[in-house]
Amino acid sequence: MRFPLLVAAGVLATVVAGWSWFHLGKPEWSPAETKLIASLSLSTLPQLPPDPSNAVGDDPTAATLGRALFFDTRLSGNGKVACASCHVPDRQFQDGTPLATGMGQTNRRTMPIAGTAYSPWLFWDGRRDSQWAQALGPLESLVEHGADRTQIARLVAVNYAADYEAVFGQMPEVTALPEHATPLGTDAAKAAWASLTEQQREDVNRVFANIGKAIAAFERTVEPRPTRFDAYADALVAGRDTSGLLTPVEVEGLRLFVGKCDCTKCHNGPLFTDQHFHNTGVPAAAGLPEDQGRIIATGQVLADPFNCLGAYSDAGPADCAELRYMDREGEDLLRAYKPPSLRGVAERPPYMHAGQIATLADVVRHYNAAPAAPGGHSELKPLAMSETELAALEAFLRTLSETGTDGGQQP
């Protein structure tokens, strides 16, 4: 879809009226700008490195099992919630709602999955350090899947034993354990967990961790797809004709993105994210508990028994540098969140960690205004963009959503 179809008539009129702000001839890029644009192309994304904490991360048999688990609603307290309930494949593995809803409503927006295997931190606040550790959290969350460890281990033993053993070896005896037991959750479930022997708890934890590893093996196959921007960037770097690949207004939006607006401070690299945490003055979501972001999550990831340094990780200590050397405290972590990839961004409103901003145009205006943060200090500075520039930047961002195929990301 080209730019005239993506903006309201009033905005388009503003763009036309302000056309003199732009270079209407063939765009000229400096060597530094060309290098920066090249670094954003999907063609520069390196091959996905192994996850040392997940020995089966690239095992196709594990991915097949993980895919089945990803779509299985029986991994929930009411038999109606699967991973795919919020991570919808034909919606970039997210759900398009301000707050995710499973057994109840969460306090955060569902994040897309494509390319997250490259990230050292998962969730908006990075409270887990691998895809497999991330997959385990929602399973026992009372407002997400609402399940528990023995329930899930027993379900896998009954319904997936052969598939499990093809990847992980012999399934321990878990079917005789209490139906509901976990160190988290209700008092009854915690009491049932305490009644298990140490070996029984170890068996359940091992099966539980392996379930996460299988789901992660599937999620590692979910990758972003090339867009019109990538075709433009690759042609530019190769010295080929770029005319017709982006419209003049989209090119000017790209110029703003890499120049005046300094968007690549956070949204850099071929995934358009630096994978770190930033306070950008996002307003608090009305009616939700105070959300302090990354500053709370550092303690959570360190305490997670399924982290890279934990007993269920396949990594050695030398493989866990991100966890060992992460910033653990400081005001810059307060209300800091991980910027998700901008790839596909136009197709997944609303925006921010709790869906506080409704449209892509509103997001651009937020960054232009740079309001004060409700907690901590925002990294933003006012950009003083004109209406024409705002529309151009939005137009460029929309080129990151157009694949030229079906627009989906189903593996």
- All domains of the chain in start order, with CATH: 3-40+225-279+337-398 (1.10.760.10), 60-219 (1.10.760.10)
- At 264 the pLDDT is 97
- At 406 the pLDDT is 37
- Give the mean model confidence (pLDDT) for residues 341-350: 96
pLDDT band at 317 (very low <50, low <70, confident <90, very high): confident
- Give the mean model confidence (pLDDT) for residues 208-218: 98
- At 23 the pLDDT is 46
- Give the mean model confidence (pLDDT) for residues 384-401: 97
- Give the mean model confidence (pLDDT) for residues 77-89: 97
* Helix or strand holding residue 162 (H, E): helix 161-168
- At 26 the pLDDT is 54
Residues in contact with 189: Cβ distance below 8 Å, sequence separation at least 6, in sequence order: 148, 180, 181, 182
Tokens of 386: 């004109």
| pLDDT surpassing 80 at residue 333 | yes
Tokens of 330: 């400081």
Q: What is the pTM of this model?
A: 0.91
- At 20 the pLDDT is 39
| pLDDT surpassing 90 at residue 403 | no
| pLDDT surpassing 90 at residue 192 | yes
pLDDT band at 146 (very low <50, low <70, confident <90, very high): very high
Residues in contact with 275: Cβ distance below 8 Å, sequence separation at least 6, in sequence order: 118, 119, 120, 121, 338
pLDDT band at 16 (very low <50, low <70, confident <90, very high): very low
Residue 347 in contact with residue 307, Cβ under 8 Å? no
